[in-house]
Amino acid sequence: MGLIVQKFGGTSVGDIERIKNVAGRVIDEKKQGNDVVVVVSAMGKTTDGLVDLAYQASAKPSKREMDMILTTGEQITISLLTMALQEMGYDAVSMTGWQAGIETEGIHGNARITNINTERINHNLSENRIVVAAGFQGLADNGEITTLGRGGSDTTAVALAAALKAERCDIYTDVDGVYTSDPRYVKSARKLASVAYDEMLELANLGAGVLHPRAVEFAKNYGVPLVVRSSMEKLEGTIIEEEVSMETGLIVRGVAFEEEIIRMTVLGLQNEITSLSSIFTTLAQNHINVDIIIQSKTETDSINLSFSIKRNDLEEAIEVLQSNREELGFSSIEHESGLAKVSIVGSGMISNPGVAAQMFEVLAKNEIPIKMVSTSEIKVSAVVDETHMLKAAEVLHTEFNLDKTEKPQKVSAK
């Protein structure tokens, strides 16, 4: 007998029939003799509907009030799922994020979990109850309700699994595991039996929507085994853990892609040793994530600084930089939209030089211009026009033989 944390996303609880199906999956785990904590998202498109309502009420709703309205979505789901479990004869109790002891920093819209007080959950588990907790939400020290950002229910589930010392955390979703690429767009994508934490973290950060990056980070830091599996079918999923049984010859393990990327350029920045740190410290203090960075020196000895951000951060990034223009010492800002990021990921890249060159070569052969590049030990990312995103993903998936388990990948000697 152990403790299992299960997480069900919005599609899995999209209507009453699906909520009843989830209740059945929860009961199946309970029948195995395990204690069960369930974390759920808002039903279907509920969150999108709440966002639409907010913007009907206000052209620029405050982040605090957005958190107030968005947290109601998960509260509906936890109540309905608990009712379904009770109707099926099982003792269950629903808890909001704050009732479940989720403590966060005081940032609205994208807070991080700082602590979990497990006393209330453990008490209910000791009474043999199934605990149904709302994902995506918590309570700051100042008593304010906060949200963890889109996809934050994954983070809630893994954080609870770590705090409760769960045997594992099962992430139920509308796909049956982690694939070599998004199977909705890359038809030859196939399911992986296992993925290392570091690989999954890169894939999640680079646009693979199956898991939230913070959830993978929590799992890695606290050694929580994750299993991604289908909420609709009883199939084997994908295990995310520290050590994996590497499939023969898999140098690249996945291709990820993400649209709505912006290239922002700060022009005429003073050529001083503190210029870069000042720009990125200012953006970081306003919780604006920057990815690929390129610096170039001009003929007048000033600096032009380009970096990529996500489109939903564009307005705030411009506002933050312009309001600090005099202090930061730049002349103007430009930005380019309509871009996407395509990436290859794999732990095998560490010991196989030439992977990046092979990636660039295949993109060039397919007449896909590269605008920006970023690399790490286990990934290579290229920014391209959005119109080329899916083609780039497909040709890279084929180039590195991700659709063929029996054929080892070969890296070009060029």
Residue 404 has pLDDT above 90, yes or no: no
**Residue 322 lies inside a defined structural domain of this protein:** yes
Tell me the average pLDDT across 242-258: 76
Asked whether residue 60 is domain-assigned, the answer is: yes
Q: Do 404 and 298 have their domain in common?
A: yes
Asked which of 198, 218, 241 is the last residue of a domain, the reply is: 241
Q: Flag whether pLDDT at 244 surpasses 70.
A: no
Q: Are residues 95 and 206 in the same domain?
A: yes
206 and 282 together in one domain: no
Domain that holds residue 325: 246-408
Examine the domain organization and report whether 232 and 373 are in the same domain: no
Question: Domain check: are 124 and 253 in the same one?
Answer: no
89 and 180 both lie in a single domain = yes
Looking at residue 413, what is its pLDDT? 38
Residue at 282 is within a domain: yes
Amino acid, single-letter form, for residue 118: T
- Rounded Cα–Cα distance for residues 29 and 1 (Å): 11
Query: Final residue of a domain: which of 225, 241, 257?
Result: 241
Instruction: State residue 376 phi and psi, 5-degree precision.
Output: -140, -175
Pair (182, 58) in one structural domain? yes
Split at pLDDT 50, 70, 90, the class of 409 is very low
Q: What is the 3-state secondary structure (H, E, C) of 346-369?
A: CHHHHHCCCHHHHHHHHHHHCCCC
CATH number of the domain at 166, please: 3.40.1160.10
* Tokens (6 digits) for 329: 């010492």
Reply yes or no on whether the pLDDT at 277 is more than 90: no
CA dist., res. 284 & res. 291, Å (int): 12
Residue 197 lies in a domain: yes
Residues 336, 339, 344, 350, Cα dihedral to 10°: 0
Answer whether residue 186 is part of any domain. Answer: yes
Distance CA 216, CA 201 (A): 6
Is residue 413 in some structural domain? Answer: no
Q: Are residues 342 and 379 in the same domain?
A: yes
CA-to-CA distance for 324 and 294, rounded, in angstroms?
A: 21
Rounded-to-integer distance, Cα 408 and Cα 71, Å = 47
pLDDT-wise least confident of 261-265, 348-352, 365-369: 348-352
| Beta carbons within 10 angstroms of residue 407's beta carbon | 11
Number of domains into which the chain is organized: 2
Distances (CA, A) of 323 to 277, 289, 314, 316, 326: 17, 18, 14, 10, 8
Clarify whether residues 116 and 256 are in a common domain: no
Is residue 212 in some structural domain? yes
Predicted confidence (pLDDT) per residue in 18-39, tens digit: 999 999 999 999 999 999 999 9
Find the angle CA(60)-CA(213)-CA(208) to the nearest 5 degrees.
90
Provide φ and ψ at 203, rounded to 5°. -60, -45
Same domain, 300 and 195: no
The helix (H) or strand (E) run that includes residue 36 is: strand 35-40
- Which of 241, 256, 277 lies at the terminal end of a domain, its last residue? 241
pLDDT at residue 245, as a whole number: 56
Whether residues 208 and 351 fall in one domain: no
Q: What is the DSSP letter of 313?
A: G
**CA atoms of 154 and 160, how far apart (whole Å):** 10
CATH number for the domain harbouring residue 280: 3.30.2130.10
How much is the pLDDT for 250? 75
Return the structure tokens found at 328.
């930061």
Cβ contact 226:196 at 8 Å: no
What Å distances lie between residue 99 and 92, 103, 137, 168, 279, CA to CA?
14, 10, 10, 22, 39
Measure CA of the first residue to CA of the last residue in the chain; give whole Å: 55
pLDDT in tens, 157-179: 999 999 999 999 999 988 889 99
Over residues 281-326, the pLDDT tens digits come to 999 988 898 989 998 887 777 889 999 999 999 999 999 999 998 8
One domain for residues 163 and 62: yes
